[in-house]
Structure 1
């Protein structure tokens, strides 16, 4: 029961003691993944960049430092109202200047126009999507032709979470996520092993073709 409760909070943190604890865990556990997702996205000053499942906003903050061009813009989507409000507070200055827009929305219905996003990144969230293929299609819809998506994860941690019952089913498996990307119009889908500060993690890359 506890593992199931924690799993639900990881996917959709709420205003609760468990949600607060999960948020603290996400800030600590995801920081290296967030920083590297931004780094590996090769963000350019005038790109339009989207983070999915942005959580408390660590990745948004990193990405905003790179979008220094006059047309550079940052978008964020999170299904949790708690995370949306926390990230909105963190990004208050960028939002007020029109450099960032955050949406409290699910992935499939995110109110972002077609063919407008250069780079997409996300960390530790694809396995919480209700439908991987529908999610991948929604991402492909908003991306420009040739756009790049980067996903970072720690496979060892996912395997452990699955063995403990925190993650259920098999959507956590990278190959299933990668297959969903390929079925939705992405090419050159690949996973690479990375290391940062003695921490091993994986990065999945894909290109949007239209």
Structure 2
């Protein structure tokens, strides 16, 4: 049940999971976005936006159009409410769905990012291949994970970094770089690639 509330938050427990994710991912969101250099006019996609802190930061960039997908209706409603309150809802296209659902998505993109949810994707290689086809030449993707599994440690993060690099290369990305950041409970990893 606890896993389900982080994978697909629902109800009051889902709202509490969202609050925890906000706190947990705040620094990771900033770190991930720092690799993307989001600029005026960019078309950006966040996969698994959760409570939407990163979306809210990106939408402050002038003339950026932002897409976001999340499988949780609770998170979608929360984010839409926050964006409406800020008058930013027209800049954002929100999709209630999984990463796999993006195979029907066809908008051209400049930047794509995901924080702490790639491990929940049903078919990561296929999804990454599709995202590669949507990114303009030179477009960037950044995938961040902090392992939380039982028995995970900083060595796990290094292994995950290698796996992320391999996935991105196999999906067609190049100049893939893997970055490690000291975090708790374990180090975090961000893999960045170019289309």
Instruction: Please identify, of 50-59 and 32-41, the stretch whose mean Cα deviation from structure 2 is larger.
Output: 32-41
Q: Normalising by structure 1, report the TM-score.
A: 0.79
Q: Which residue of 2 aligns with 1:169?
A: none
Aligned length: 184
Note if contact 1:122-1:151 (Cα within 8 Å) is conserved in structure 2. yes
Within the candidate set 87, 103, 110, 2:79 is matched to 87
Note if contact 2:43-2:65 (Cα within 8 Å) is conserved in structure 1. yes
Within the candidate set 102, 106, 123, 1:113 is matched to 106
Which consecutive segments of 4 or more residues in structure 1 shift more than 4 A? none
Q: Which residue of 2 aligns with 1:40?
A: 35
Structure 2: runs of 5 or more not aligned: 153-158
How far 1:8 sits from its partner (Å)? 2.2
Note if contact 2:7-2:120 (Cα within 8 Å) is conserved in structure 1. yes
Structure 1: runs of 5 or more not aligned: 166-171
How far 1:195 sits from its partner (Å)? 5.8
Q: Which residue of 2 aligns with 1:168?
A: none
How far 1:21 sits from its partner (Å)? 2.6
Distance in 1 between the 2:31 and 2:82 partners? 19
Q: Which residue of 1 aligns with 2:67?
A: 75
Distance in 2 between the 1:44 and 1:124 partners? 23
How far 1:194 sits from its partner (Å)? 3.5
Distance in 1 between the 2:100 and 2:26 partners? 26
Structure 2 residue 127 is matched with structure 1 residue 135:
yes
| RMSD over aligned Cα atoms | 2.2
Distance in 2 between the 1:91 and 1:178 partners? 33
Seen in structure 2, the aligned counterparts of structure 1 residues 20 and 164 have a Cα distance that, compared at 3 Å, is: farther
